[in-house]
Structure formats: C-alpha cells, structure tokens
Amino acid sequence: MTVVIGFEGSANKIGVGIIRDGEVLSNPRRTYITPPGQGFMPSDTARHHRAVILTVLKEALEEAGLKPADIDCVAYTKGPGMGAPLVTVAIVARTVAQLWGKPLLGVNHCIGHIEMGRLITKASNPTVLYVSGGNTQVIAYSERRYRIFGETIDIAVGNCLDRFARVIKISNDPSPGYNIEQMAKTGTQYVELPYTVKGMDVSFSGILSYIEETVFAMLVEITERAMAHCSSQEVLIVGGVGCNLRLQEMMGVMCEERGAKLFATDDRFCIDNGAMIAQAGWEMFQSGQVTELEDSWITQR
C-alpha cells in the first residue's frame, strides 16, 4: 500500500493531507481570514502559513496515526497560485522530504482538484467545471491529457465574487462566497446584468453587483457546450466555488434535462486542501513520476 502526504498552500488555505490507496486518512487545514473589505496579500498570507504549517503537519500525522517512516512520498503544490505562499509550502515539503528520506512530487493545483473530485464522487470520465478564486475553466480528459475547452478571459469567478464582497463589506469569515450565497437565498428580485459568453469563454471583469445568478448561468452554458462536444454524460464541479449550492442546483437542472449526472463534493474537499495534492501525487507516484530536488520549484501560472 502506498501512503502519500500532500502540502497545499497556493492561496489563503494551508492544508496537509494524507492518502493511502484512495483512502483519506487525515486532512486538516487553516484559513487566513482578513477583515471585511480587505483581500489577502501574498506576504501576509505566507506569514500566516509559516506560523501554522508545522502544527497542521503534526495534526495530519497524529490524525492518521502514522509516523514519518510510514510515508512513501511527499507531494506539494507546485502551482498555479500566489508566489509567496507557494514558496513557503515548497520549502517545507522539500525539507520534510530530505529529512525523512522520501521522494518528492510537485503537483499541479488544478489537477489536484480534479483527482480529488473523481476520487470522492467516483465520476469516471466527467466534463469538469473548475471554479475557484484564481481559476475558471471547463476541462475534459481527451487523448491522454486534461484539456481546457473554455475559460475566463479576465478574472476568475471566485475573484469576481470576492471583489464584490469587498466592495459592499461582506465578511470574509468563513469565506466571502459562502456569505454571498446565504444573502442571495433571501433575495426576491433578479437584476439583469451583462451576460458575456464569447464562444467557449466567459468574461467577469465588468460584473460587480447582484451577480450570482448571471455568472452561474454563464458557467452552466459553457459546461453544457463542452459536454456536447465530448459526448459526455457526467459533470464534475470542483474548486472552492464548487461547493456553492445554487451553482450545483443550476447545473443539476441542466444535467437532468440532458439525462446526465452531476457530481460535486462538500467544503471538505472542494475548498483547497492537502488531501487533493496527496491524491494527485499518489496517481503520479504510481505511474513512476518523481520530482528531483533541483526541479522542485514553483510557478504562479
């Protein structure tokens, strides 16, 4: 049996997760939360991660009931993400791998989300809507690669929601998007906004008011187009915005009309976490991949 520990810290979440052959043994995390109206700066976020990462690592090992000798591989988020937080996590992962004498694996953050979603939901070959603070993409597996069929041409949907929350001073605890969702549940008036779908891509940069219904409808449209192109009967929603129940509801209606099936996870696994990096690392390690120390850099893109 193969045990992989994963370190995630590409944005304001710092997490350490342990996977053993598809079983999540532990997955603790911490969130850097700023006051209402403020975003999180890279340097401050990295400082937060440095302050808590060893505590989270200890929690992960204790929760899993494992010792360093039980770990077979150390995986970490190579990117994309914010530079300073990524570097913080990469340094710890490199150090741990050398101290424990274990192979190291740099993992693509986006693939981590997808592989975690596939593991938890058991979706076999879905069209994936990946929606988070930094990414908005429609992805499908074709000819032995994950391929992007559509994406945002400016800001990500999560960033759009976060900026809207900052403008009207919505709390960042536990997250701006969650608080917007709760407020939207009590709304009674739909305000029409620019609906900007350009082919298979979307644009969010001009929308900063009463936005949830419109941006989610845009995402459902381009996801349905990708499904038609790939002859897919499954949709998997991943990323932090993916645990929004309204988005899941709207996507579910589309899937039902097509006779397709919707897969989604809750906030344990759709929000950035260490287990998703461990799972993608497990897949890579099983196929014989490792990252040499001199190649264990990070990339923001």
Please, which residues have CB within 8 angstroms of residue 63's CB and are 6 or more apart in sequence? 25, 26, 28
Q: Would the annotation count 130 as a binding residue?
A: yes
Q: Would the annotation count 172 as a binding residue?
A: no
pLDDT for 167 equals: 87
Q: Would the annotation count 132 as a binding residue?
A: yes
Q: Would the annotation count 142 as a binding residue?
A: no
Please, which residues have CB within 8 angstroms of residue 249's CB and are 6 or more apart in sequence? none
pLDDT for 205 equals: 82
Q: Would the annotation count 162 as a binding residue?
A: yes
- Residue-by-residue pLDDT tens, the chain, 301 positions: 999 999 999 999 999 999 999 999 999 999 999 999 999 999 999 999 999 999 999 999 999 999 999 999 999 999 999 999 999 999 999 999 999 999 999 999 999 999 999 999 999 999 999 999 999 999 999 888 999 999 999 999 999 999 989 988 999 999 999 999 999 999 888 888 889 999 999 998 877 655 678 999 999 999 999 999 999 999 999 999 999 999 999 999 999 999 999 999 999 999 999 999 999 999 999 999 999 999 999 999 8
Residues in a beta bridge with 234: 261
Q: Would the annotation count 15 as a binding residue?
A: no
Q: Would the annotation count 220 as a binding residue?
A: no
Q: Would the annotation count 244 as a binding residue?
A: yes
Residue 153 per-residue DSSP state: S
Residue 152 per-residue DSSP state: B
Q: Would the annotation count 12 as a binding residue?
A: no
CA distances (Å), 112 to each of 77, 148, 239, 272, in order? 8, 15, 10, 9
DSSP character string of 119-131: HHH--SS-EEEEE
pLDDT for 96 equals: 98
Residue with tokens 């993608």: 280
pLDDT for 189 equals: 86
Q: Is 105 helix (H, G, I), strand (E, B) or coil?
A: strand
Fill in the amino acid letter for 139: I
Please, which residues have CB within 8 angstroms of residue 154's CB and are 6 or more apart in sequence? 203, 204, 205
Q: Would the annotation count 113 as a binding residue?
A: yes
Given a contact cutoff of 8 angstroms between Cβ atoms, the answer to whether 210 and 186 are in contact is no
Q: Would the annotation count 109 as a binding residue?
A: yes
On whether the pTM is more than 0.85, the answer is yes
pLDDT for 208 equals: 60
pLDDT for 190 equals: 83
Q: Would the annotation count 199 as a binding residue?
A: no
